[in-house]
Amino acid sequence: MSPHKSKNPYAAFPEYTAEDMRKLKVHAVEVPGTRTDLETGIFRNVMSQNALATGFENTSIHSVVDLFNIGSSINPKGNCLGHRPITGYDAVTGAPKWGGFVWQSFERVRERMTHFGDGLMKVYEESGVGDVEKDKWALGIYAINRPEWTIAELGGMLHSNATVALYDTLGPDAAQFILHHSEVPIVVATVDKVPTLLSISGTLEKLKVIVVIPAYGPVDRSSLPPIEVLRKWGAEKGIRILEFSEVELMGLENPRKARLPTEDDIWCICYTS
């Protein structure tokens, strides 16, 4: 293979062509002398097997927001987040039918994460939980991988707020423990997760708002409660229900100076089984 010098000023080692990468049979190699009787050896990228990659030391990367900014500066109109919408369902099996990828550019993602992050701060302020100017809090996210997950995470980080992920595999008891332990005031969730959150909300003193991510495509409306029903149920529980787009609009109408994270700020809090 013949590596060439990268045009990307942030590249840590020479780049290989797509054809070079397709020819690779081994992608990582063990560093000689690192294996012991109790531990396996250290494995290193085959493109930088003789030394650790360099080139990161003098960059301005201090947070995940900085990482996004670098990607955006290199190719602002390039594809950043993509998803495949559901176009329908199989008549026999009920399995979803997926369309082609729909992409959002770095520019579009920056716009949306800014509006969503500003909107979150407005929602937090209106919730009366604490001091919006001083508090740093954890944003819960309960959803499958999709663009809104990352947009919500980046929006929270623009104001130095960490994220806490929730998973179906952990079950409602674990979700209740995580939300209580991390004192999450706002959860971003897909519509199918909202009933679970509302059912345990009575034990979550700090939880005040649930932001609902819309379904990917056409759904059986009998299987998911409409937003109006969720709002009414939430009101009975003392929980405000907002749609994702509503929070973006709130941010657009109430712009706020970013409170960018530093190396001392928490990015995410991970709970495992």
pTM comes to 0.81
Using DSSP, state whether 106 is helix, strand or coil.
helix
How much is the average pLDDT of 87-94? 89
pLDDT tens string 48-77: 788 777 766 657 788 999 999 988 998 999
Query: What pLDDT does 9 receive?
Result: 56
Whether residue 169 has pLDDT greater than 90: no
How much is the average pLDDT of 245-262? 97
Pairing of strands 96-98, 102-105: unpaired
Concatenated DSSP letters for 138-155? EEEEES-SSHHHHHHHHH
Residue with the larger pLDDT of the pair 258 and 219: 258
How much is the average pLDDT of 169-182? 88
**Phi, psi (deg, nearest 5) at residue 162:** -75, 170
CA neighbours within 13 Å on the CB side: how many for 101? 9
CB burial of residue 2 (10 Å; 0-12, 13-18, 19+): exposed
Query: What pLDDT does 6 receive?
Result: 57
Whether residue 111 has pLDDT greater than 90: yes
How many C-beta neighbours within 10 Å does residue 269 have? 15
State CA 84 to chain mean position distance: 17
- Which residue type is seen at 183? E
Whether residue 19 has pLDDT greater than 50: yes
Query: What pLDDT does 25 receive?
Result: 85
**Percent share of the chain, pLDDT over 70:** 88
- State the angle between helix axes of 244-253 and 147-157 in degrees (0 to 180), rounded to the nearest 10: 40
Whether residue 262 has pLDDT greater than 80: yes
How much is the average pLDDT of 141-160? 96
Among 189, 172, 183, CA closest to 234 = 189
For the ranges 18-32, 67-81, 88-102, 236-250, the maximum mean pLDDT occurs at: 236-250
Domain boundaries, the chain: 1-59, 71-77+105-269
**Percent share of the chain, pLDDT over 90:** 68
Range from 57-61, 76-80, 231-235, 241-245 carrying the lowest mean pLDDT: 57-61
How much is the average pLDDT of 2-24? 64
| Residue 239 pLDDT class (50, 70, 90 cuts) | very high
pLDDT tens string 180-216: 999 999 999 999 999 999 999 999 999 999 999 988 7
| Residue 231 pLDDT class (50, 70, 90 cuts) | very high
| Residue 170 pLDDT class (50, 70, 90 cuts) | confident
Domain 71-77+105-269 sits in CATH at 3.40.50.12780
- Which residue type is seen at 64? V
- Phi-psi domain of 118 (left: phi exceeds 0; alpha: psi -120 through 50; beta: other): alpha
Residue with the larger pLDDT of the pair 45 and 180: 180
How much is the average pLDDT of 207-229? 80
Q: Round to whole Å and give the CA distance between 161 and 138.
A: 6
Pairing of strands 138-142, 186-190: parallel
**Under a CB-based contact definition with an 8 Å cutoff, are residues 225 and 212 in contact?**
no
Query: What pLDDT does 221 receive?
Result: 47
